[in-house]
């Protein structure tokens, strides 16, 4: 239900932004003086599946419009089945953000953004390999072998976010947003010929495969590195 509500709000946000940018632009808000902001996302650090350490740079290239590049590493992989201690993962996200002009310089700023993201993750997946199998049942195999197979994934996505940003000092900002992304997960598994593979249904990747909608949440603290001259 929340996903459909976010989608239904999209035309309203787009229309109000379009109307705003047809009017003369105000430049008396503290955030308009910021050129470059370094941010850390502490909400992603408690992600229930792949908590990550993410840093981003927001560059305001014109009044009320900015571009953000975010990068980070996956700090942990959480799954009902063990993924082992050897894993490697990183994330990247690009964002084009449009701020709403406030009524006064004391107000927090609401914003709307469009995003593209990518995640690479490599883990050890527990696999059962059957030899001489006559069906997709382990009991039909002549013998079985159990081991951990290196599995990698590429997750691509794009979507939108709506949030609020507030200056708490000349150099410090706080922000939070919610959004909705369309995700696609591509798995790379090494498989031999003439054998049957049995994968765990509850493994980390299996409920993420294919195309799906996913809600997003972020909460960030920022430090202004550069202000407008």
Span of 99-113, 134-148, 191-205 with lowest mean pLDDT: 191-205
Quote the pLDDT of residue 209: 76
**pLDDT surpassing 80 at residue 147:** yes
**Distance, CA of 58 to CA of 68 (rounded, Å):** 4
Q: What is the pLDDT of residue 150?
A: 84
Top mean-pLDDT range of 204-208, 212-216, 222-226: 222-226
For a pLDDT cut of 70, what percent of the chain falls above it?
80
How high is the pLDDT of residue 219? 95
- pLDDT digit string (tens) for 42-92? 898 888 888 999 999 999 998 889 999 999 999 988 776 666 677 899 999
Greater model confidence, 44 or 228: 44
Length of the chain: 229
pLDDT confidence of residue 180: 94
CB 212 within 8 A of CB 205: no
Cα dihedral: 51, 57, 62, 65 (round 10)? 0
Tokens linked to 214: 């996913």
| Arithmetic mean of pLDDT, 29-52 | 87
Element of type H or E holding 7: helix 2-20
What is the reported pLDDT for 199? 79
- The 10s digit of each residue's pLDDT in 156-211 is 999 999 999 998 998 999 999 999 999 999 888 877 788 888 877 666 676 677 88
Q: How far is CA 60 from the centre of its chain?
A: 21
Average pLDDT, the chain: 84
Q: SS3 of 32, please?
A: helix
Sketch out the chain's domains with CATH numbers. 2-227 (2.40.160.20)
Q: State how far the alpha carbon of 87 is from the alpha carbons of 12, 31, 80, in Å.
A: 42, 39, 16
User: Looking at residues 213-223, what average pLDDT do you find?
Assistant: 93
């Amino acid at each position: 239900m929340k996903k459909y509500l976010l989608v239904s709000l999209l035309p309203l946000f787009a229309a109000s932004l379009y109307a705003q940018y047809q009017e003369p632009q105000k430049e008396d808000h503290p955030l308009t003086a910021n050129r470059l902001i370094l941010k850390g996302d502490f909400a992603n650090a408690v992600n229930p599946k792949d908590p990550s350490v993410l840093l981003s740079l927001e560059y305001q290239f014109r009044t009320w419009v900015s571009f953000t590049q975010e990068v980070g590493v996956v700090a942990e992989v959480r799954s009902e089945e063990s993924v082992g201690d050897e894993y490697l993962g990183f994330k990247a996200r690009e964002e084009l953000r449009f701020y709403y002009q406030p009524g006064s310089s004391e107000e927090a700023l609401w914003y709307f953004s469009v995003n593209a993201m990518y995640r690479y993750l490599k883990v050890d997946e527990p696999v059962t390999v059957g030899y001489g199998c006559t069906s997709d049942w382990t009991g039909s195999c002549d013998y079985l072998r159990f081991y951990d197979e290196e599995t990698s994934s590429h997750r691509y996505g794009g979507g939108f976010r709506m949030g609020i940003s507030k200056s708490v000092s000349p150099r410090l900002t706080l922000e939070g947003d919610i959004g909705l992304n369309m995700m696609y997960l591509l798995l790379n598994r090494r498989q031999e010929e003439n054998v049957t593979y049995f994968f765990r249904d509850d493994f980390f990747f299996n409920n993420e495969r294919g195309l799906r909608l996913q809600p997003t949440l972020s909460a960030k603290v920022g430090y202004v590195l550069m202000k407008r001259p």
